[in-house]
Structure 1
Amino acid sequence: MKVAYVFSSTNSQKILNNMIIPQLEGGHHGAEVAGMFFFMDNAFFLLEGSKMGERLQTLHEKTGMLLMACDQCAIERGIDKKLVPGASIGCFPNLYAALGGAGVDQVITL
């Protein structure tokens, strides 16, 4: 199964940091992750120099998964030019285009 995650809630950090990332790093997540999209303050997860950003970048380099922050969220927070090298910014049309051919079976919003 191939999934994509949309991180929009305030609980996203705990779920991503304590569950999803360790499972992906350990190779036992149970699904292939095609991409992750980050809204509001969750865009900070992709900040260059942060531990979570570095872990996500490593996973991106290993798997090729999409890492994208909401463009308006990143710009409003002044981090649009400070994301990890593998991350991009965009809106839903960019997300659809980037994941369109990935064969995503499920989109999960957390």
Structure 2
Amino acid sequence: MKVAYVFATAGQTIDHVLGDMILPQLEAGTHGADVVGMFFFHDNTYALREDDPLGQRLADVAADQDVLLMLCDQCAARRGLAEHDRTDKHGRDRYEATNTVEGATVGCFPDLYDALGEVGIDQVITL
């Protein structure tokens, strides 16, 4: 089964649920599902900061297992993790990730749909 996670809840979700539960299973190859993407909102974007131990673990797993790591563009920009890059032909502001782990991207729902559209996701889990 192919799944994507959306991390929208502030608090213990990132440190405990992702850091202590999901990520160790991914690192050990025992998660039981093929995780194809993770999308981070609000303060959860801080998990993908450059030099963050959790972020580096995520980046390593993402590189090894071909997992998309995407931060909400506006959430990331407000936290110094993205900079305005340009405005596209549809008038939508586009951002570039800054101060993040390698492989992290920024975008909005249309970008997430585009990036994961061909993968064939079976389940989206919001935490």
Q: Aligning the two structures, in what range does the TM-score lie when normalised by the shorter sequence? A: over 0.9
TM-score (norm. length: structure 1): 0.98
- In structure 1, stretches of 5+ residues that fail to align are none
Measure the CA separation in 1 of the matches of 2:74 and 2:63.
25
Larger Rg: 2
* Superposition deviation, residue 29 in structure 1: 0.2
* Superposition deviation, residue 83 in structure 1: 1.1
Counterpart residue number, 2:111:
94
- Runs of 4+, deviation exceeding 3 Å: none
Q: Indicate the structure whose relative CO is greater, using CA pairs within 8 Å and at least 6 residues apart.
A: 1
Counterpart residue number, 1:18:
20
Q: RMSD of the alignment, in Å?
A: 0.6
Q: Which amino acid in the other structure matches residue 87 of structure 1?
A: A
Structure that is richer in strand per residue: 2
* Superposition deviation, residue 12 in structure 1: 1.7
Identity level (%): 55
Aligned residues: 110
TM-score (norm. length: structure 2): 0.85
Q: Which amino acid in the other structure matches residue 122 of structure 2?
A: D
Structure that is richer in helix per residue: 1
